[in-house]
Amino acid sequence: MSASLICGDPLKLEKELDELQKAQVDSLHFDVMDGHFVPRIGLYPEMLKAIKGQTDIPIDVHLMIDHPMAYAEKFIEAGADLISFHVESKDDILETINFIKKQNVKVGLVLKPNTSLETLNPFLESIDLVMLMAIQPGILGQKVIPETFERIFELAHKVKDYSIIIEIDGGVTPETGPKMIEHGAHLLVCGTGTIYRPHEDTLENKIIEVRKIIDQSQL
Ligand code: DX5
Ligand code: ZN
């Protein structure tokens, strides 16, 4: 489970980080958006650095930007443990992968819902993770695109001989999450549909609840 920080309450960030730490989420998902690659603006390196000073949970940076090569270093300096960027971005993909890896940071490639899995072929040897968008990137709270499940299954088959983590971003709910795991996903980005879904309970308890559902689906 990767907790999507952009879905949190900015005024309660410190308290929420504390709860995320107590509940031991696997990673913190940090959405970066440039207003070009996706319509909205997202999080920034200084914020990542401040968060890194408060927690030892690994930080999974998702760059939704046209030029990952130009900004990767800023996020590495700020403390990213893994950087994922889009295969549809405008920079040289292999050059960007190698640049990130050279600095001992893990690297992932992200695919929008309509991008063919074939685009991954030249990079499978070089990456640690593939993240499939289950929604169009950039907008929170959307419903999962139904073809996602079949796509996860196909990707799982495709990468079966590599040690590649399959992460799914967007549209994760108590209903869709277990189905994503059943189809072959390893890591789910949990946002407005799960742990940040508004209700009375604490973030820590919501994480425990969601984890139970997701773990059961792996049995
Ligand atoms: C969307 C972001 C996601 C976001 C998804 O572009 O990349 O990380 O958390 O939000 P939900 O969980 O609301 O679909
Ligand atoms: Zn994301």
Output the residue whose Cα is nearest ligand 1's atom 3.
Answer: 170
Q: Which atom of ligand 1 is nearest to the CA of 29?
A: 8
Which residues hold their Cβ within 5 A of ligand 2, which is an ion? 31, 62, 169
Give yes or no for residue 218 having a pLDDT over 70: no
Taking the CB of residue 186, how many other CB atoms lie within 10 A of it? 15
Q: Which ranges in 23-109 belong to alpha helices (H)? A: 45-52, 68-78, 93-102
- Distance in angstroms (rounded) separating the CA atoms of residues 42 and 33: 4
Instruction: Give the number of whichever ligand sits closest to the CA of residue 37.
Output: 1
Could you identify the atom of ligand 1 that is nearest to the CA of residue 172?
Answer: 12
For 129-176, the pLDDT digits (tens) are 999 999 999 999 899 999 999 999 999 999 999 999 999 999 999 999
How far, CA to CA in Å, does 71 sit from each of 42, 76, 88, 197? 13, 9, 16, 31
Q: Among 9, 56, 169, 201, which one carries the catalytic annotation?
A: 169
Annotation says 215 is catalytic = no
Ligand 1 centroid from CA 113, angstroms: 13
d(CA 42, CA 30): 9
Smallest CA separation from ligand 1 atom 10, residue: 140
**Closest-approaching ligand to the CA atom of 1:** 1
- Whole-number Å distance, alpha carbon 154 to ligand 1 midpoint, is 22
Q: Give the chain's length.
A: 219
DSSP one-letter string for 9-34: -GGGHHHHHHHHHHTT-SEEEEEEEB
d(CA 10, CA 2): 18
pTM of the model: 0.96
pLDDT tens by residue, 169-207: 999 999 999 999 999 999 999 999 999 998 778 999 999
Q: Compute, in angstroms, the gap from residue 191 CA to the centroid of ligand 1.
A: 6
Atom of ligand 1 nearest to the CA of 136: 6
Pick the ligand that lies closest to the CA of residue 142: 1
- 102 alpha carbon – ligand 2 mean position (Å): 23
Q: What percent of the chain has pLDDT over 70?
A: 99
Pairs from 210-219 (Cβ < 8 Å, separation ≥ 24): 210/1, 210/174, 210/177, 211/1, 211/23, 213/174, 213/177, 213/178, 214/1, 214/177, 214/178, 214/181, 214/188, 216/178, 217/177, 217/178, 217/179, 217/181, 217/182, 218/181
Active site residue 201: no
